[in-house]
């Protein structure tokens, strides 16, 4: 599993934007997370997977409930994890690291 950590991000992009960035505008993807329950741009949990096999997948979760918010972005595919992490940092700001903060 390849992990990136986004420390202190601000507002996150819509989940559909993440999938489209990873696989293109016409991609068929499955998603799950808490973007329906969170305020706009405030989601902290997201899974996107390319259909039909859903083998290409990215998960985003908070590492804990502490401040500052730290999101771990993971995938079994190195390039997919990095592409998602860079996209989220571009849209949300924050510090991107390959190491979990202490």
Q: Which helix (H) or strand (E) holds 7?
A: strand 2-7
Strand partners, 7: 70, 95
Query: Along the 102 residues of the chain, how does pLDDT read in single tens digits?
Result: 999 999 999 999 998 999 999 999 999 999 999 987 777 778 999 999 999 988 899 999 999 988 899 999 999 999 999 999 999 999 999 999 999 997
Quick: pLDDT tens for 15-40.
Answer: 899 999 999 999 999 999 998 777 77
pTM: 0.93
Neighbours of 24 (CB within 10 A): 10
Burial of 37 (0-12, 13-18, 19+ CB in 10 A): exposed
């Amino acid at each position: 599993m390849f992990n990136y950590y986004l420390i202190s991000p601000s507002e996150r992009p819509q989940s559909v934007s993440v999938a489209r960035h990873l696989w293109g505008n016409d991609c068929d993807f499955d998603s799950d997370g808490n973007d329906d329950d969170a305020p706009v741009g405030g989601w902290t949990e997201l899974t996107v997977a390319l259909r039909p096999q859903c083998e290409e997948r990215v998960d985003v979760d908070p590492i804990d409930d502490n401040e500052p918010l730290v999101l771990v972005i993971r995938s079994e595919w190195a390039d997919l994890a990095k592409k998602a992490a860079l996209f989220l940092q571009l849209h949300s700001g924050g510090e991107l690291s390959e190491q979990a903060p202490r």
